[in-house]
């Protein structure tokens, strides 16, 4: 029996690679439209790059080892530390704001579960050097536009937005100021909707808070909409204008025409402590999957990790959950493998098939044909198996008339097209 891939790792058969490449194409296309430029870094980094950011406890989650030079190294579990190092190295020379994106393969030694593997590809988009809420709106809009590029709408996905500064002010108003208690509270708010409320309340009280404080915390986490947030902030100290960045961000997204995708949701706090302002996560609208992407503002992290004192906002979007959503919402919509299959009626038609195949490939079309003489029926079966949008039939009559039969394989309809018009027709995405 042949060996299998390691647990949590994937083989990509051609159909899986086609689905992955569709996601990659959307990532790159949207990033380019937003003026982001691509960077990359090494898949193997010094272990300390991650422990200095997250502490020694992260080692258990990494693929780490000592290399042949005696160095403690790890396969990269995330891209932000590499980004911080690279930005710091050229911070003075880089024009601000910096718009960078990457599509690394990341590795974490975690328990394999639905939507989470031990390796995945991830789109990272980071906007560095701008502290205003329009920067937050810009990266959120980019995340939403990736969904739109994949033909997903507000009935399919929603982006839930909050602000850590608002939640911090509300917790202070409830008398929760101890750093340890705050960390526990954030962790439980982050689990709202995924675990029973009474379990979350018990954990909050286990951090030394009263039942009343636990109830208040959970009530904050269940707040939805700017009006509810503003009403709650009226009773919080030092809360004047604290809602303005969030309100400006949401208004900007509405001005872009993306308001139908956006919900203000205070349960979005993001588990990582380095977030300092607006945070967001993108979910499937039915709420059956893990978060598709998550991110927010992390103004102090680049200085702590790389030494560059620059404000920053960004997100990470993995391919695993997104791929699962696309398979659920768009079964079979991973793109045709080829544009057209050229069918030779007889052996004497082979030269014209080869001539036309090469001309169409030069025009950018994806073309295939039978590599040995076969019946038309067998060639048609192969065309269907290849996922071709259409079959182009070339026989003696077609060579004589200068027109070929283009058959749409989806519905069997046919139309005659002059040889010279084939490239333009296929490039326009027209089958028949």
Intra-chain end-to-end CA distance of the chain, in Å = 47
Is 5 part of a structural domain of the chain?
no
Which pLDDT band holds residue 332 (cuts at 50, 70, 90)? low
- CATH number for the domain that contains residue 422: 3.40.50.800
User: What is the structure's pLDDT at 237?
Assistant: 63
Check whether 360 has a pLDDT greater than 90: yes
Residue 427, token pair as written in the block: 């490039």
User: What is the structure's pLDDT at 272?
Assistant: 65
313/365 same-domain check: no
| Residues 389/408, Cβ–Cβ less than 8 Å | yes
Domain boundary among 329, 362, 378: 329
| Residues 365/340, Cβ–Cβ less than 8 Å | yes
23/59 same-domain check: yes
Average the pLDDT over 342-346 and give the result.
95
42/86 same-domain check: yes
Residue 184, token pair as written in the block: 């526990």
User: What is the structure's pLDDT at 335?
Assistant: 55
Is 4 part of a structural domain of the chain?
no
Which pLDDT band holds residue 429 (cuts at 50, 70, 90)? low
Give pTM, 2 decimals. Answer: 0.87
Check whether 207 has a pLDDT greater than 90: no
Is 365 part of a structural domain of the chain?
yes
Task: Tell me the CA distances in angstroms from 62 to 55, 75, 96, 108, 118, one per residue in order.
Answer: 12, 7, 33, 5, 10
Per the structure, the complete domain to which residue 419 belongs is given by 340-427
60/181 same-domain check: yes
What is the number of structural domains in the chain? 2
Is 353 part of a structural domain of the chain?
yes
Check whether 348 has a pLDDT greater than 70: yes
320/369 same-domain check: no
Task: Tell me the CA distances in angstroms from 45 to 73, 81, 396, one per residue in order.
Answer: 6, 10, 63
**Residue that the structure tokens 């000592």 belong to:** 66
168/217 same-domain check: yes
- Distant-in-sequence, close-in-space partners of 423: CB < 8 Å, separation ≥ 6: 359, 360, 363, 365
85/216 same-domain check: yes
Domain boundary among 304, 329, 354: 329
Is 1 part of a structural domain of the chain?
no
Is 28 part of a structural domain of the chain?
yes
The CA-based angle 99-289-59, given to 5 degrees, is 65
Which pLDDT band holds residue 1 (cuts at 50, 70, 90)? very low
Q: What is the mean pLDDT of the chain?
A: 90
Is 335 part of a structural domain of the chain?
no
156/79 same-domain check: yes
Sheet containing 340-344, strands listed edge to edge, beginning at the edge strand earlier in sequence: 367-369, 340-344, 390-394, 403-408, 414-418
Domain boundary among 296, 329, 362: 329
Question: What is the spatial distance between Cα 17 and Cα 38, in angstroms, rounded to a whole number?
Answer: 21
Question: What is the spatial distance between Cα 344 and Cα 228, in angstroms, rounded to a whole number?
Answer: 68
Check whether 180 has a pLDDT greater than 90: no
- CATH number for the domain that contains residue 292: 3.30.930.10
Tell me: the pLDDT tens digits for 107-140?
999 887 777 899 999 999 999 999 999 999 999 9
Could you tell me which residue, 342 or 331, shows the higher pLDDT? Answer: 342
| Residues 396/390, Cβ–Cβ less than 8 Å | no
Check whether 173 has a pLDDT greater than 90: no
Is 2 part of a structural domain of the chain?
no
70/37 same-domain check: yes
Which pLDDT band holds residue 319 (cuts at 50, 70, 90)? very high
Least reliable range by pLDDT among 31-40, 85-94, 149-158, 264-273: 264-273
250/396 same-domain check: no
64/114 same-domain check: yes
Could you tell me which residue, 191 or 179, shows the higher pLDDT? Answer: 191
Task: Tell me the CA distances in angstroms from 371 to 358, 361, 378, 385, one per residue in order.
Answer: 14, 16, 12, 15
User: What is the structure's pLDDT at 59?
Assistant: 87
CA atoms within 13 A on the CB side of 206: 10
Share of the chain above pLDDT 70, in %: 96
User: What is the structure's pLDDT at 186?
Assistant: 86
User: What is the structure's pLDDT at 58?
Assistant: 83
277/299 same-domain check: yes
Tell me: the pLDDT tens digits for 371-383?
999 999 999 999 9
Of 388, 377, 315, 414, residue with least CA distance to 102: 315
Question: What is the spatial distance between Cα 109 and Cα 116, in angstroms, rounded to a whole number?
Answer: 11
Check whether 337 has a pLDDT greater than 80: no
User: What is the structure's pLDDT at 19?
Assistant: 92
Average the pLDDT over 46-66 and give the result.
86
Tell me: the pLDDT tens digits for 226-266?
999 888 888 676 666 788 999 999 999 999 999 999 999 99
Of 374, 373, 385, 383, residue with least CA distance to 406: 383
């Amino acid at each position: 029996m042949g060996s299998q891939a390691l647990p949590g790792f994937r083989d990509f058969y051609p159909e899986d690679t086609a689905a992955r490449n569709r996601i990659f194409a959307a990532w790159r296309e949207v990033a380019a439209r937003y003026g982001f430029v691509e960077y990359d870094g090494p898949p193997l980094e010094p272990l300390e790059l991650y422990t200095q950011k997250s502490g020694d406890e992260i080692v258990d989650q990494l693929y780490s080892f000592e290399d042949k030079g005696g160095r403690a190294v790890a396969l990269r579990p995330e891209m932000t530390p590499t980004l911080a190092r690279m930005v710091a190295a050229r911070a003075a020379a880089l024009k601000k704001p910096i718009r960078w994106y990457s599509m690394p393969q990341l590795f974490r030694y975690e328990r394999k579960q639905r939507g989470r593997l031990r390796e995945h590809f991830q789109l990272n988009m980071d906007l560095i050097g701008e502290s205003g809420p329009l920067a937050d709106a810009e990266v959120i809009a980019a995340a939403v536009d990736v969904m739109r590029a994949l033909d997903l709408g507000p009935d399919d996905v929603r982006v839930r937005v909050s602000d850590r500064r608002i939640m911090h002010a509300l917790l202070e108003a409830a008398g929760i100021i101890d750093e340890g208690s705050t960390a526990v509270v954030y962790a439980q708010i982050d689990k709202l909707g995924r675990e029973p409320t009474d379990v979350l309340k018990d954990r909050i009280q286990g951090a030394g808070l009263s039942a009343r404080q636990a109830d208040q915390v959970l009530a904050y986490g269940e707040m939805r909409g700017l009006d509810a947030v503003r009403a709650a902030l009226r009773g919080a100290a030092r809360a004047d204008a604290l809602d303005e960045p969030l309100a400006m961000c949401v208004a900007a997204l509405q001005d872009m025409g993306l308001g139908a995708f956006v919900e203000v949701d205070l349960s979005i706090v993001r588990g990582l402590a380095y977030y300092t302002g607006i945070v967001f996560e993108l979910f499937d609208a039915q709420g059956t999957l893990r978060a598709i992407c998550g991110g927010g503002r992390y103004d102090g992290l680049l200085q702590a990790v790389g030494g560059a004192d620059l404000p920053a906002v960004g997100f990470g979007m993995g391919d695993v959950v997104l791929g699962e959503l696309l398979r659920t919402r768009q079964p079979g919509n991973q793109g045709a493998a080829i544009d057209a299959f050229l069918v030779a009626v007889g052996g004497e038609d082979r030269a014209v098939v080869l001539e036309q195949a090469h001309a169409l490939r030069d025009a950018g079309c994806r073309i295939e044909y039978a590599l040995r003489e076969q019946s038309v029926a067998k060639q048609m079966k192969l065309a269907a198996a290849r996922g071709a949008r259409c079959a182009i039939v070339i026989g003696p009559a077609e060579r004589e008339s200068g027109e070929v039969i283009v058959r749409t394989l989806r519905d069997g309809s046919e139309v005659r097209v002059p040889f010279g018009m084939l490239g333009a027709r296929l490039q326009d995405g027209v089958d028949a």
